[in-house]
Amino acid sequence: MTSVRAWNLVGLLVTAFIAVLWLTPLLWAVDTSLKPEGETTLVPLTWFSDNFSVEAFQRVFAQSDMLRWFLNSTVVAVGVTALVLATASLAAYGFSRTDFRGKRLVFGVVVAGIMVPPQVLVVPLYDEMLALGLIDTYWAMILPQVAAPAMVFILKKFFDGIPRELEEAARVDGASILRIFWQVVLPLSRPVLSAVGIFTFIFTWNNFFWPFLAVSDPDLMTIPVGLATIQSSYGLRYAQIMASAVLGGLPLLVAYVFFQRNIIRSVAHTGLSGT
Amino acid sequence: MATTISPAPPAPPATRAVPLWRRMPAGLLFTLPFLVFYLAFLVWPTVSSLFLSFFNESLTGTRGEFVGLANWTEMFGDSAMWSAFGNTVYFTLLSTPPLVLIGLVMALLTNRAMPLRWLWRLAFFLPFLLPASVVALIWVWLYQPGFGLVNDTLARLGLAEAGWLTEPDLAMVSVVITTVWWTVGFNFLLYLAALQQIPQHLYDAAAIDGAGWWQRLRSVTLPMLGRTTGLVIVLQLLASLRVFDQIYLLYQGTGGPNFAARPILEHVYTTAFTNFRFGYASAISTFFFVLIVTVSVAQLKLFPSSSNSSNSSKER
C-alpha cells in the first residue's frame, strides 16, 4: 500500500513539473508585459518588479490596431463558422438520407478532399482570388475556408447513426424533407454541431497562412496576421511586444474558460473522427 | 412534380411551369451549396495548380506562355528546393517522436485521480489555443541571447548559453522545442479521449490476476491504445510535413541562419510571392502535394480499420 501512495506522489510531482514547464512561457510573457520597458532586459532576470503597471497595454491600445484586428478576426471566424455549419450539415444530410444519381461518386470526391492540405493550394488560390478581384477583402479570407470536407464527413457519420423511425413519423405527418431536417434532425445533432462549430471557429480564428496572403490592407488584418507585423515595428520594446502577445492570445483563452468541456470534447471528437 | 395536368391547351412548355430547382432531386439541392464552395475553392485550385505548373506564369494576372515540363525539370535540379525538402523531412523526423511520446505521457499521468488534475490538463492544452504569431513573439523573446529566459536559466544552472535562433545547427531544434510546447496538447487530448474509452473491467481483471502498475500498462493500456497511436502518428506526420507558420514567424521569413530552417512551403511562398514565379511555385507545390497524398494513402493501407480516417484538423 505504501508503495502505491509513493507512486502516486511521484506521478503527481512529475505531472506538476511538466505543467510548470508548460506554463512558464505564458507566465513569463505576462510578467514581462507588466514590467516597465527599462526593466525587461535587466540581467540577472527577475520575476518581480517594484514598478508593475499596465502602461505597456495602454500603449498597445493607443498605438496599434489591436481592436480593429479583433473585430476582423471576429467577422472572419463567425462568417466561416456560420457558412460551414449551414453548408456542411445540409450536404451531410443529403449524403446520408437522400438518393440521386452519382451520389456515391460525389461523396467519394468529397472524402478524397480531406487529404488535400490547404497550404498546398495557396498559389492557385491566390491566382483565382486575383481573377475574381477579391484580394484584400473579407471574402478572400472567408470563402476558401468554407470548403471543409472533413466536417461534411463527420456530420454524415453522425446523421447515419440517427434512427430513421423519428423521421418516418414526421413524414407520415406530412412534413417536408427540409422541415424534417430543420425540426427533427438538427435538434438531435446539437453535440456534433457544436463540436464542428467550435473546432471551425478555433481553427479559423488562429489561421495564419492564407489570411496573411489574402490581405495586405492593415484595416483588414486578423489578429494572427496583424501580430506578425509588430515584431519589426516595436523593435526592442519587449514589454509592449509581450502585451500585444498576451492580448492576441487572450480571446480564445477566455472563451476556453467558459466552454472548456465543449472545447475538449470537440477537439477530441473531430480529431478522432476516423476511428 | 406534376402541375401540367390541365387538359386542353397543348403546351405552355413544361419547363417554364416547373422551376429548375423543383425538377432537381432533393439530395442534390441539399449538397449543392457545399459543392459550390468545394468545387470553387478546393477542386479547382487543385486542378489549376497542376495546370499552372506548365506555364511561365507570373503575378501579372495574364496567362504566361506554355513552357511544357521546363518548371518540372528546373525543380528537380534546384538545390534550394532539395535543401528545403530536406529541412522539412528533418523537422518531421525530429518533431514527431516527442510530440507523440510526450502527448502519451501527459495523458497517462493525468488520467489517474490526483489533486488539481484540471489545472495540469489546462496547462498542457492551453498553448494549443494560441495563434502562431503569439507563439513566435513569446519564443523569440525566450530565446534571446543574454537576457532571454532560456539562456538565463542555462547560465544559472552553470551550462553554456546557446544561440537558439542564430546557430545553423540549432535552428531547427529551436523550432521543434517551440512546436512541441505549442501543439502537443492536441495529441494529449486525443490520447486522453482514447484512455477514457478503455473498459474498466479489463483493469479489474488484471488486478485480480495480481498485475502491478507496470504490468497493467504493458498488457492492457498500451495494447488498447494501438489504433489511436497509429492515428496520432499519421496526423502528426502530415501536420509536421506542412510546417510553415511558426518557422516563418520565428525567423521573420529569412529561412533561419544559412537557410537551415527553411521548409518547403516557405520555398513555395518565396518563389511565388517574393520572386513572383507562380508557374514554378505551382510545380513545387504540386510535387509536395503528391508527397503528402502518398503519405495519406500509405496510412489508409497501413491502418485499414480506421479507413476514411482523420481530418485536416491539424495545420501546424
Query: Roughly what angle, to the nearest 10 degrees, separates helices A190-206 and A66-97?
Result: 140
| Exposure string for A222-242, b = 16+ CB within 10 A, e = fewer | bbbbbbbbbbeebeebbbbbb
Tens-digit pLDDT profile for residues A85-107: 999 999 999 999 988 888 999 99
Q: How far is B193 from chain A (nearest CA, A)?
A: 6
Residue ranges in chain B modelled with pLDDT below 70: 1-24, 59-62, 303-316
Domains and CATH numbers, chain A: 65-228 (1.10.3720.10)
Residues 6+ apart with CB under 8 A from A79: A138, A142
Of A119, A231, A270, the CB nearest to B313: A270
Grid cell for residue B170: 540549432
Residue with cell 478524397: A112
State how far the alpha carbon of A78 is from the alpha carbons of A119, A135, A146, A257, B31, in Å. Answer: 21, 20, 11, 19, 22
Name the pLDDT band for A249 (thresholds 50, 70, 90).
very high
Touching check for B193 and chain A: CB below 8 Å? Answer: yes
CA proximity to B169, closest of B248, B79, B257: B257
Cα dihedral A192, A196, A199, A201, rounded to 10, equals: -130
Grid cell for residue A47: 520575476
| pLDDT exceeds cutoff 50 at A174 | yes
Q: What is the pLDDT of residue A104?
A: 92
Tens-digit pLDDT profile for residues A16-39: 999 999 999 999 999 999 999 888
Domain at B70-306, CATH from 3.30.40.10, 3.40.50.2300, 3.40.50.720, 1.10.3720.10? 1.10.3720.10
For residues A9-15, give the mean pLDDT: 94
Name the pLDDT band for A155 (thresholds 50, 70, 90).
very high
- Listed in sequence order, the DSSP H helices in chain A are 2-34, 55-63, 66-97, 103-112, 122-132, 138-146, 149-160, 165-172, 177-180, 186-188, 190-206, 209-214, 223-227, 230-234, 238-271
| pLDDT exceeds cutoff 80 at A1 | no
User: What gap in Å lies between CA B88 and CA B17, rounded to an integer?
Assistant: 60
Name the pLDDT band for A49 (thresholds 50, 70, 90).
confident
Question: What is the distance of C-alpha A7 from the center of its chain?
Answer: 38
Q: What is the pLDDT of residue B314?
A: 43
Touching check for B78 and chain A: CB below 8 Å? Answer: no
For residues A104-117, give the mean pLDDT: 92
Question: What is the distance of C-alpha B153 from the center of its chain?
Answer: 32
Dihedral class, residue B12 (left if φ above 0, else alpha if ψ from -120 to 50, else beta): beta
Q: Do B114 and A12 touch (CB under 8 A)?
A: yes
Counting Cα atoms < 13 Å in the Cβ hemisphere of A70 gives 13
Q: Do B37 and A143 touch (CB under 8 A)?
A: yes
Q: Which sequence spans correspond to the domains of chain B?
A: 70-306
User: What gap in Å lies between CA A173 and CA B62, rounded to an integer?
Assistant: 58
Q: Which residues of A touch B127 (CB under 8 A)?
A: 22, 25-26
Of A19, A124, A245, the CB nearest to B48: A124
| pLDDT exceeds cutoff 50 at A178 | yes
Let me know: does A194 contact A202? Beta carbons within 8 Å.
no
Q: Do B131 and A126 touch (CB under 8 A)?
A: no
CA proximity to B84, closest of B284, B304, B305, B298: B284
Nearest CA in chain A to B281: A123
Q: What is the pLDDT of residue A3?
A: 73
Residue with cell 538565463: B152
Q: Give the ipTM of the model, two decimals please.
A: 0.92
Of A45, A113, A126, the CB nearest to B149: A45
Of A97, A117, A127, the CB nearest to B278: A127
Touching check for B149 and chain A: CB below 8 Å? Answer: yes
Touching check for B302 and chain A: CB below 8 Å? Answer: no
End-to-end CA distance of chain A: 38
| Stretch 205-264 of chain B: residues touching chain A, C-beta under 8 Å | 213, 227-228, 231, 235, 238, 242, 244-245, 249, 252
